[in-house]
Amino acid sequence: MTSYLNNIALIGSHAEDFQTELKKAGLVPVTFDSADNLLAGLDSYPVVALSGNDHGLDEKNTISVLLDAGKILVAFDPGAKYLSSLHAATRTPIDLTAMKPTLNRPLVIYKKNGDIYVPLNPKVKTGFEVPNGKFQPVKSSNFIINTERNEAKQAKTCDDLDDPANAIEQIKRAINASNENPQDDKAPVSGEVDGLDPGSDVAFYKKIHLSIPYDYHIQRLAYTNGGEDITTSDSNCIQVYHTEWNMTIHVYATNSNPVGQTADTYGGTVYTYVVHDGVHERKSGSPGRSTSSSTGLLGQGWEYYFTDILGYTFRNASASGFLSKTSQQPDENIYDPRDNMFLYNISKQQKMTLFRSNKKQTWEFTADYQKPCAWNRFQMHLDMPNWNDAGYVLSYNDYYNVWDDPGFKESKWYDPGVFEISNGNQVVKKLPDDKLLLSGLSVFSSKIGKVPLHLEFDYIPRAFDISSAFHYKTSAADVIGIYVDDFVLDLTWDE
């Protein structure tokens, strides 16, 4: 039997180099000159990629048919009509008409088990702006404090406008995710209770699954026998970090029918629940940390890179104060330190009055989310310049405490710190693996309306070096950040 899993239908104008890269990636592109021809042979194409305005796939009913059939829709610079119809067909809590897909950064969307999934294509921060005082890419020793910047380089980013490989990688991820069997999906954490979905017999409820995946390639070698801060193109030396920040957003209009209402006239309350999860880790198959141990007091020992702080923020991009945060968990002040682990818990229950799907009857729903969280030698901190933002920071606290001393100005990081003499060698002590699970629950209340949001993920890969018994150094690959800035929360209903 012929497998059609790798077939991708193209409609509209697609560049030759894009089609060539599709073939290199094992995908089979087939070009269609009309929407009617495509729809006639729909079963053979799990992915439909459209480009520009002249494709004929911009009607709400057509889009609904494609999504209900399990098709992955990929839109390159699709035009306003397509985005408007897509938003009407999906009714997501994200305003898809506000998104800005381009020829290099497409909008990917698909439906699975009745839910809408959108993997977002982030941008990479330029200039490496420090989000706050806790993210300091310092370089220092016990003798000299040197704050020169050591920029991390990347082999490929979403900002590489001449390389279609990023869009193709996004398509392949969506294919893999949409084809997973339910039993293959992410297993719940032991003790996790997710009772936030009120079921199908409900009105004025929205839900979406978002993911922000990104691979960052660090081409800068912090320390080598030939010098420091050396740029390399050797794939055996380039360290790659994989970030996957997932959010499931649930939106409930409570107590009052929101259709036809404004923020001033609506008599109810809208609650927005954002469940954060995911992972930040070394990409599978990529090189591990660079390590070197030295013999005697005149040698040199180093280890890099180690992510000792990361943060993910979900904040209002305007000064409107539209969203009022009612809860952010886990609570940074409530934890159990046990065997080098910091144990936290997320626990939220809330009763709310919802409408049945007939939009006349009401009923009482209890939103319930429980999840235990634990990190090896990392603590959770809630870091928000504005209380109504949601900001989470995981920071290392063992041989040193990066939250209390982000500038490495105190002596704890080297005395006794991360260094030791082992069998006559100067070495860096065992540091935790670069694999940090993400967790969090953010809850907001509001009236009906729309609000722009800024999503950002930042981290610092750290490096340590000992060049003599009394000369210690730390440096970093600067602040690495990815963000999404065309994200609008849609808390309105028109039907």
Q: For position 131, what pLDDT does the model report?
A: 64
Q: Average of pLDDT values for 215-241?
A: 90
Q: For position 380, what pLDDT does the model report?
A: 96
Condensed to tens digits (0 to 9), the pLDDT of residues 458-491 reads: 999 999 988 765 678 888 888 899 999 889 999 9
Q: How many residues does the chain have?
A: 495
DSSP assigned state of 50: E
pTM of the model: 0.91
The crossing angle, in degrees rounded to 10, of helices 165-179 and 16-24 is 50
Which tops the pLDDT comparison, 4 or 216?
216
Angstrom distances, CA of residue 458 to CA of 19, 135, 240, 482: 33, 8, 15, 7
Distance of CA 24 to the CA centre of its chain: 27
Q: What percent of the chain has pLDDT over 70?
A: 88
Q: Average of pLDDT values for 279-304?
A: 80
CATH architecture observed for domain 7-112:
3-Layer(aba) Sandwich (3.40)
Average pLDDT, the chain: 87
Residue 456 corresponds to which tokens in the numbers above? 């950002």
115/122 Cα distance (integer angstroms): 22
Q: Peptide bond before 335: cis, by omega within 30 degrees of 0?
A: no
In a 3-state reduction of DSSP, which class is residue 209? strand
CATH architecture observed for domain 123-153+186-491:
Distorted Sandwich (2.70)
Residue 267 corresponds to which tokens in the numbers above? 């008599």
Highest mean pLDDT among 219-233, 312-326, 405-419, 446-460: 446-460
188, burial (CB in 10 Å: exposed 0-12, middle 13-18, buried 19+):
exposed
Q: Average of pLDDT values for 226-252?
A: 93
Query: Hey, where are the domains in the chain?
Result: 7-112, 123-153+186-491
Q: For position 179, what pLDDT does the model report?
A: 81
**At 2, is the pLDDT very low, low, confident or very high (cuts 50, 70, 90)?**
very low
Condensed to tens digits (0 to 9), the pLDDT of residues 101-137 reads: 988 889 999 999 999 999 998 988 865 555 667 777 7
Residue 311 corresponds to which tokens in the numbers above? 């943060």
With contact defined as beta carbons under 8 Å apart, do 252 and 352 qualify? yes
Q: For position 44, what pLDDT does the model report?
A: 87
Q: For position 158, what pLDDT does the model report?
A: 34
Domains 7-112 and 123-153+186-491 share a fold: no
With contact defined as beta carbons under 8 Å apart, do 103 and 71 qualify? no
Q: Average of pLDDT values for 226-243?
A: 91
**At 168, is the pLDDT very low, low, confident or very high (cuts 50, 70, 90)?**
confident
Q: For position 186, what pLDDT does the model report?
A: 57
**At 453, is the pLDDT very low, low, confident or very high (cuts 50, 70, 90)?**
very high
